[in-house]
């Protein structure tokens, strides 16, 4: 009997000591990335879709009917150059309100990092050297005639064109490809989004914002009357999109 | 590590002794879906609910039920009457005739690769979630088999064969509607189509003609057909996105489709993209079977688009009526579409009432 009491006490202590562990500082942390969207600071969710209510820099009124995009290669870099790349990629699907939050399975050591970043789209290695069944299943691939790989973003909707007709647009970003010559010429359009320095003390939640209006604004005021459809094979349009993408993302806060 | 070994041995005996107690519990023979190589290589695994695993006995029972008019009120109509194997489990009639001679306003859908409909939204308007739930509908639909489930259960229970078959499939001879639908769903999940000429081309087992190859390029080319955004590709061998779109059939929308179900006007006129497999066998086309031929479908996308508030942004050049394909590209696109037809599927004796 006494023995059982001992065992009970022992297990109780073990259990308690376990729970108190959580209060101590941790050595490995999870990083979560939450994606929120806005049109020049007014919040956009899928409930705001399908209504013409936004005006782009070029003055066209437009709606959003679909928005999804790929982010990958979340990277934590130490000042001594040591790099932690978190496994996986995430297809943010605003239309269906899914994958707005992404927590890679790999953890990072707590401590100071001189730079945190992610890639918009896929770098060439990820884009061409992997066959991703989840992305294929959701029709995210790029035709082989455009070099294959995957879409980086699909932004679709309607705008009022210069004949006041409601017209569809499909702002699809991929790696730029020029098919006009005898050999395909490519130019990279994935880009790194730099979130700056951070000191990780605990599991951390990065709040990322995308200003959708930026895709139509800076440095190229986007004229939907000219560029509304068939943009995937349009090399120049892909470069313009890439340029406009540079200031689309920003870091709101980090909670930990 | 070695210290653990005695515990594992102990655990083993505990497990064995447990299962020994259950030796008389009947378990039907597991029969997992045979996943085609192209599906295995490129897309996610099929959806099979954990509470309705595929079994040899369940599939056989589901097949018998699918072909048996006993499910209809007057014993005249089986599922297969509107979903005929030789038509890739669809109906050549524009609108199918229910047992009372009534017609619905929708064309019967072909049935294949249903386990790969990941969102599990069935019917043209996605109104039913899961295959098990879908199978409840036709039996009582007044435009279809117009029966009551109580009557079906009674008839099956009194039948000389069925109680035994349910016993074998589910370990109980007490027949109820949920077991009927489970068996049918098991059979439906086995209806896998993956042996078209195009599949074989991708596997290096068949060669396409230059017309067929050009047709595939028209399908994939954003400056031409631009069909791949909604209808799959070499990387998505389902040849559908299983999502809902308005592909510009009507300027004025009368059948609200998805909008009727969600109540959201932004969904009006949206219907599920059908798979382009097996078009050779599945005419007529579209939710209301309005097009009798593939040529009519292609002309629709090329010149016939009608604008409406919910038309998909991917339906471009609406003002000009569509993507404006040349006569050659139209012919080649058709030739390509026909390579997606799977003769082995419609001739598979596993799927026929022999």
Residues 156-185 of chain A whose Cβ lies under 8 A from any Cβ of chain B: 156-158, 165-170
pLDDT band (50, 70, 90) for residue A20: very low
- Are B142 and B79 in a shared domain? yes
- Tell me which residue of A178, A140, A153 sits closest to A245, measured CA to CA: A153
DSSP E strands in B207-334: the ranges are 244-245, 271-272
B329 close to B185: Cβ distance less than 8 angstroms: no
* CATH code (residue B62): 1.10.760.10
Asked whether residue A211 carries a pLDDT value surpassing 60, the answer given is: yes
Q: Which residues of A touch B307 (CB under 8 A)?
A: 166
Q: Which residues of A touch B317 (CB under 8 A)?
A: 229
Q: Do the domain assignments include residue B14? A: no
Q: Which residues of A touch B221 (CB under 8 A)?
A: 143, 145, 233
- Who among B42, B307, B312 is closest to A136 (CB)? B42
Distance in angstroms (rounded) separating the CA atoms of residues A90 and A100: 9
B91 close to B79: Cβ distance less than 8 angstroms: no
Q: Do the domain assignments include residue B161? A: yes
Q: Do the domain assignments include residue B222? A: yes
Q: Do the domain assignments include residue B18? A: no
- Are B157 and B118 in a shared domain? yes
Sign of the dihedral defined by the CA atoms of residues B171, B165, B100, B137, in that order: positive
Indicate the pTM of the whole model: 0.92
End-to-end CA distance of chain A: 47
- Tell me which residue of B353, B342, B352 sits closest to B113, measured CA to CA: B342
Q: What is the pLDDT of residue A93?
A: 98
Q: Which residues of B touch A136 (CB under 8 A)?
A: 42-43, 235-236
Dihedral (Cα; B319, B323, B328, B331), 10-degree rounding = -110
- Are B155 and B41 in a shared domain? yes
**Cross-strand partners of A186:** A177
3-state secondary structure of A69: strand
Dihedral (Cα; B128, B131, B136, B141), 10-degree rounding = 60
- Are B135 and B225 in a shared domain? no
- pLDDT tens string B73-115: 999 999 999 999 999 999 998 988 887 888 889 999 999 999 9
A145 close to B221: Cβ distance less than 8 angstroms: yes
3-state secondary structure of A193: strand
What one-character DSSP code corresponds to residue B54? -
Asked whether residue A19 carries a pLDDT value surpassing 50, the answer given is: no
B113 close to B277: Cβ distance less than 8 angstroms: yes
- pLDDT tens string A81-123: 999 999 999 999 999 999 999 999 999 999 999 999 999 999 9
Give chain B's domain count. Answer: 2
Task: Give this complex's ipTM.
Answer: 0.91
Q: Which of B138, B160, B192 is the last residue of a domain?
A: B192
Residue A79 dihedral angles phi and psi, to the nearest 5° = -65, -25
Mean pLDDT over B250-258 rounds to 97
Asked whether residue B173 carries a pLDDT value surpassing 60, the answer given is: yes
Instruction: Test B226 with A133 for CB contact under 8 angstroms.
Output: no
Strands A249-255 and A191-200: unpaired
- Are B206 and B167 in a shared domain? no
Distance in angstroms (rounded) separating the CA atoms of residues A223 and A56: 9
Task: Please give the C-alpha separations between residue B270 and each of A149, B124, B327, in angstroms, as whole numbers.
Answer: 29, 9, 29
Q: Which of B158, B176, B192 is the last residue of a domain?
A: B192
Q: Which residues of B touch A158 (CB under 8 A)?
A: 313
Q: What is the pLDDT of residue B9?
A: 53
Query: How many residue pairs from chains A and B have C-beta atoms closer than 8 A?
Result: 77
- Are B131 and B210 in a shared domain? no
- Are B125 and B242 in a shared domain? no
Residue B347 dihedral angles phi and psi, to the nearest 5° = -100, 5
Those residues whose C-beta lies under 8 Å from the C-beta of residue B186, and which sit 6 or more positions away, are B52, B54, B55, B58, B59, B61, B62
Domain containing B285 equals: 197-345
Retrieve residue B9's tokens: 């041995």
Instruction: Test B44 with A139 for CB contact under 8 angstroms.
Output: no
Say which residue, A11 or B168, is predicted with more confidence.
B168
- Are B130 and B215 in a shared domain? no
* B41 Cβ under 8 Å from any chain A Cβ: yes
> What sections of B52-148 are H helices per DSSP?
56-66, 79-82, 131-134, 136-140
Task: Please give the C-alpha separations between residue A206 and each of A100, A161, A195, A196, in angstroms, as whole numbers.
Answer: 12, 38, 9, 11
Q: Which residue has the tokens 């120049």?
A: A236
- Are B178 and B205 in a shared domain? no
Distance in angstroms (rounded) separating the CA atoms of residues B219 and B215: 6
- Are B170 and B239 in a shared domain? no
């Amino acid at each position: 009997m006494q023995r059982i009491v001992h065992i009970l006490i022992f297990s109780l202590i073990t259990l308690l000591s376990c729970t108190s562990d959580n209060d101590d500082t941790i050595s490995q942390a999870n990083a979560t990335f939450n994606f929120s969207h806005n049109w020049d600071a007014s919040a956009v969710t899928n409930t705001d879709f399908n209504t013409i209510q936004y005006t782009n820099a070029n003055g066209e009124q437009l709606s959003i009917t679909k928005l999804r995009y790929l982010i990958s290669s979340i990277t934590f870099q130490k000042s001594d150059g040591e790099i932690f790349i978190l496994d996986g990629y995430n297809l943010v699907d605003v239309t269906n309100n899914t994958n707005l939050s992404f927590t890679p399975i790999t953890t990072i050591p707590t401590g100071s990092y001189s730079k945190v970043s992610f890639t918009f789209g896929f770098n060439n290695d990820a884009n061409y050297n992997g066959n991703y069944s989840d992305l294929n299943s959701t029709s995210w691939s790029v035709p082989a005639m455009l070099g294959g790989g995957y879409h980086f973003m699909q932004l679709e909707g309607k705008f009022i064109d210069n004949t006041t007709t409601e017209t569809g647009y499909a702002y699809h970003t991929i790696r730029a490809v020029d098919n006009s010559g005898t050999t395909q010429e490519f130019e990279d359009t994935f880009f790194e989004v730099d979130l700056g320095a951070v000191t990780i003390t605990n599991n951390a939640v990065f709040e990322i914002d995308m200003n959708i209006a930026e895709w139509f604004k800076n440095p190229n005021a986007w004229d939907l009357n000219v560029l509304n459809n068939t943009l995937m094979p349009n090399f120049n349009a892909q470069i313009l999109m890439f340029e406009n993408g540079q200031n689309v993302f920003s870091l709101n806060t980090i909670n930990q | 590590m070695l210290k653990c070994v005695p515990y594992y041995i102990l655990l083993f005996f505990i497990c064995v002794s447990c299962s020994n107690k259950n030796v008389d519990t009947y378990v039907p023979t597991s029969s997992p879906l045979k996943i085609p190589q192209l599906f295995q290589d490129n897309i996610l695994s099929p959806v099979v609910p954990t509470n309705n695993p595929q079994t040899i006995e369940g599939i056989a029972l589901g097949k018998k039920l699918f072909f048996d008019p006993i499910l209809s009120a007057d014993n005249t109509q089986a599922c297969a009457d509107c979903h005929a194997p030789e038509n890739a489990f669809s109906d050549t009639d524009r609108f199918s005739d229910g047992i009372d001679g009534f017609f619905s306003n929708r064309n019967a859908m072909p049935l294949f690769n249903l386990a790969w409909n990941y969102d599990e939204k069935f019917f043209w308007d996605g109104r039913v979630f899961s295959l098990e739930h879908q199978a409840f509908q036709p039996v009582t639909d007044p435009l279809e088999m117009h029966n009551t489930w109580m009557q079906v259960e009674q008839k099956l229970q009194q039948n000389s064969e069925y109680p035994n078959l349910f016993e074998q499939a589910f370990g109980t001879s007490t027949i109820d509607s949920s077991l009927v639908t489970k068996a049918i769903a098991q059979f439906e999940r086995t209806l896998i189509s993956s042996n078209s000429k195009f599949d074989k081309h991708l596997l290096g087992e068949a060669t396409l003609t230059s017309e067929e190859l050009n047709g595939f390029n028209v399908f994939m080319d954003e400056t031409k057909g631009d069909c791949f955004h909604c209808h799959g590709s070499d990387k998505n061998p389902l040849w559908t996105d299983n999502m809902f779109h308005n592909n510009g059939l009507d300027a004025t929308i009368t059948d609200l489709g998805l909008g009727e179900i969600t109540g959201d006007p932004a969904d009006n006129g949206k219907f599920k993209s059908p798979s382009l497999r097996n078009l050779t066998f599945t005419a007529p086309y579209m939710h209301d079977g309005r097009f009798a031929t593939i040529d009519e479908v292609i002309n629709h996308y090329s010149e016939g688009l009608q604008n409406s508030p919910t038309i998909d942004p991917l339906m471009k050049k609406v003002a000009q009526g569509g993507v404006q394909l040349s006569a050659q590209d139209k012919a080649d696109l058709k030739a390509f579409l026909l390579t997606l037809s799977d003769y082995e599927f419609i001739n598979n004796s596993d799927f026929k009432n022999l």
